[in-house]
Chain A
Amino acid sequence: MRAPIGPEVSAGDVLLSVEDVSLSFGGVKAVSNVSFDIRKGEIRAIIGPNGAGKTSMLNIINGFYHPQQGHITFRGKTRSKMQPHEAAYGGIARTFQNVALFRGMTALDNIMAGRTLKMHSNFFWQLLRHGPAMHEEVKHRQRVEEIIDFLKIQEIRRVPVGRLPYGLQKRVELGRALAMEPDLLLLDEPMAGMNLEEKEDMSRFVLDVNDHYGTTIALIEHDMGVVMDLSDRVVVLDHGIKIADGTPNEIKGNQAVIDAYLGVAH
């Protein structure tokens, strides 16, 4: 259980705010008039029953889907549309429900790929693999090795990720996202499909990322125990609408939330 929210967090600046965002696909309204914010340095959980629009919400923040209405303000800049690579350069990284690793590459290469946006040596030096290009490779390799140590995946560095078990793949994917040194890390069901031990490991990693690197985290998660333990604040979606927003304790007692999960007709 996290310490109760102290004054310095509630006074923390808003890092990202979602304002009155709506998204539809054809006739289906995935997200309707949702607004919430994420404060710098916090762990924000987005929860809700299946089909609530949680992944769509992350996709919007990422720049994957463009909402028909509303806008996102990130680090002071407001926009209604963002391209995925703009989000990446802006400091937003993410992991996916179905692991989106590059299957033809090793774990090390996947995480090194995450450093791409920090690598600038030009084509000429890349051709020679010498001088600035090599210097850069080594420098970024050092940073990647720190992440590998942090996630304890040293033995599987050179294994093609397609051959790794699911839990390790998720860790490599987390590593790739961390390699981008993001300000905001979006995790889409990071514990999905894991057993108790793996969940504890992953929870520890999420907390350490937040403590050690200071990264703000938004995560979608179904396991209530994890949500209660890890998050500072929670936003609850149901059928694309926000039905609650507050600390874990407040959410636990909220009748609308309980109804949504129990499937009470409304």
Chain B
Amino acid sequence: MFYREVGQYKTNYSADMSVMPLLQDRVGIGIILFIAVVIIPYFGNAFLIQAIMIPFLVFSLAAIGLNLLTGYTGLLSLGTGAFMGVGAYACYKLTTYFPDVNILIWIVASGFFSAAVGVVFGLPSLRIKGFYLAVATLAAQFFLSWCFIRQPWFYNYNASGAIEVPTRTLFGIPITGATASDSTRYYVVLGIVVAMTWLASNLVHGRIGRMWMAVRDMDLAAELIGIRLLRTKLLAFAVSSFYCGVAGALLVFQWYGSAEPAVFDVNLSFFILFMVIIGGLGSLTGSYLGAALIFILPIVLRYIPPHLGIPIRPATVDHIQYMIIGALIVLFLIVEPNGLARLWQIGKQKLRVWPFPY
């Protein structure tokens, strides 16, 4: 009853093909954006913004990136962490060489470096498929991780091996570094993530999205209708790595404030992959849902039991987190391989016919 489409007919093709044809969807997104832009910064405390919202948005962006490659194009990648790292280090080097250029420009530019690296490591995808390609991406992951640790040029020959984010401003307001406030950083991240989500949505609803999905579903048939496989796959690697690179730059510059190379290891790659699997392969909404679940879970585990009076050590939280995530992966793959996004769709379907059962 709440989600009825009846009566919302379209009179031209461009309205019919719009990304959100239903009024309810548009209202929903409007409410979400209102909450994100107004309610949270105004009412939320520093903890909510710093420890939950900012990283949630950053991981959602990375999950979108990986989803474009693995969910839409069907190319399994285990190198997400490394591509995020390329973005972060690129941003760092750019801003140390050119400190006067606006940091926002460098955050976006670092995506291009990541995209270039992604294309290089995506070249094997012409000849290699499936599991084998996953191993090729592992090569990227381990090689790049090694670079970040062992090639001192990356961290400006710092003794500690870590990178420290310098203070940068925009119109006089500090947006990175120790003096930047939570709200400022939150707005930067929110703006970038929302804009890039909109761009990704445009891509997947149009010709390029169809090309990617065709390659995923049956690449032989895709070739026969004129899709050039290598170009399409490399484009997927490029765009996906761009998103992961920007996410990596945001991770370091807007959340952590500093980074050790160990941050961008193979565990991060798996982390993001799990977000995509649980959230739903091939769904942008799913990327957000998966990021929310996997990211919020350890926080819930860490803070709820003490409130209930059950003592719990931080190490135990980690262990239980791994167990729950592992079990959830298997559970989702058994019950709903299309992830939370599909569950959400089923939920909407129920809303469509409520109060009737079908």
Contacts and interface: CB of A to CB of B under 8 A. Distances in A.
Direct contact of A and B (CB under 8 A): yes
Interface of A: 62, 64, 83-85, 87-89, 93-94, 96, 100-105, 109, 112-114, 116-117, 119, 121, 123, 126-129, 133-134, 136-138, 141-142, 145, 176, 180
Interface in B1-49: 12-14, 16-17, 19
Contact of B17 (A93, A127, A141): A141
Given A116-B211, A117-B225, A134 B14 contact: yes
B311 interface: no
Interface residues of B, number: 31
Interface in B208-262: 208, 210-211, 213-214, 216-218, 220-228, 235
Contacts, number: 105
B14 A138 contact: yes
A102 to B, nearest CB: 4
Contact of A93 (B205, B218, B225): B225
Given A104-B213, A116-B211, A180 B205 contact: no
Given A85-B227, A137-B17, A141-B13, A129 B205 contact: yes
B225 A116 contact: yes
B207 interface: yes
Contacts of A128: 199, 202
B22 to A, nearest CB: 13
A121 B210 CA distance: 14
B203 interface: yes
A105 B13 contact: no
Contacts of A141: 13, 16-17
B210 A116 contact: yes
B224 A105 contact: no
B282 interface: yes
Contact of B225 (A64, A114, A138): A114
Contacts of A100: 218, 220-221, 224
A109 B17 CA distance: 11
B206 interface: yes
27 contacts: A64-B224, A83-B223, A85-B228, A87-B224, A88-B225, A100-B218, A102-B218, A104-B216, A105-B210, A109-B210, A112-B210, A113-B210, A113-B211, A113-B222, A116-B207, A116-B227, A123-B208, A128-B202, A129-B202, A137-B14, A137-B17, A138-B17, A141-B17, A142-B13, A145-B13, A176-B225, A180-B225
Find the residue from A62, A96, A113 having the highest chain B CB count within 10 A.
Answer: A113
Contacts of B221: 96, 100-102
Given A101-B217, A116-B214, A123-B235, 14 more contacts: A64-B224, A85-B228, A96-B221, A102-B222, A105-B213, A112-B210, A113-B227, A117-B227, A126-B206, A127-B202, A133-B206, A137-B13, A137-B207, A138-B12
Find the residue from B16, B206, B210, B225 having the highest chain A CB count within 10 A.
Answer: B225
Contacts of B282: 104
A129 B218 contact: no
A20 to B, nearest CB: 25
Contacts of A87: 224
Contacts of B19: 129
B237 to A, nearest CB: 14
A123 B222 CA distance: 19
A126 B208 contact: yes
A85 B217 contact: no
Find the residue from A62, A64, A100 having the highest chain B CB count within 10 A.
Answer: A100
